[in-house]
Amino acid sequence: MNRPRVLICFLFILLVSGCTDFYMICSLNPFYLDKNVTLVPEIEGQWGALPLRYSSNSKDENNVWNQKDTTSFWKIERRIARDSYKNKQGKDSVVFRPMDSYHVTLTSSDKDTMKYSFKMVLFRVNNVLFADFMPLDNTGLEKSRLASENYFRIHTLARLVIRNNQPELSWLGAEYMKEMIENKRVRVNYRWVPDAKRLLLTGSSEQLTSMIDRYADQPRFIDWDMQPAKLRLKRIN
């Protein structure tokens, strides 16, 4: 699907879906450049997900996440490419090649066999670790916040911190991004959908990386601890 058609379809979905209390900021293009991509072996494995409060003053539990986000097992493994070729004898052969990205699968712990799959790319900017999420064949969107935010092949951005061997993910919120743009704290190309009251970033990966390089490691611009969508992963095996 070409870029203009993707943009039109995505804007239409935003329009008919209306508004909720929280949206992750989403982008048509990856938030990373290949030169910044990294691997973190300790992220691999099977995890349980625990929602985190974004404010210590809040008396209520974090209600950003849907059921499948926190009741599913998170399986994270390095993606493997399967390349076919013919050897010197003319026979078909297969080579398995590790890739610089991860496959994230959310599998329900109950009788529901539905799975949600994402490509996750880890990258560093100014020595800060980030995760770019992109969906892979998701269904049943109403049961997962992460899946519904990634309905099309769009990208969401999270900061990743590993504390006491437990990964903590904090996704950049659309409302937070909207305020930064309105206050001219950041400059990035975007589209605004008035009826849905939601942003879609349309800037290039170079532009997005420049934004992250300039602002994402400074709490006065982007306070990752104050983003509503936060999860801690606890290892199962």
pLDDT digits (tens, 9 = 90+) for 172-207: 988 888 888 888 777 888 887 666 667 889 999 999
> What confidence score (pLDDT) does residue 12 get?
37
CA dist 148 and 154 (Å) reads 11
How confident is the model over 38-65, as pLDDT tens digits?
A: 999 999 999 999 999 766 555 544 568 8
CA dist 32 and 107 (Å) reads 27
- Per-domain boundaries in the chain: 3-235
pLDDT interval class at 13 (50, 70, 90): very low
DSSP string computed for 67-103: HHHHHEEEEEEEEEEEEEEE-TTS-EEEEEEEEEEEE
Tokens at 218, concatenated: 């400074």
- Across the chain, mean pLDDT equals 80
Tokens at 178, concatenated: 């909207």
pTM: 0.81
Over range 193-222, report the average pLDDT.
Answer: 85
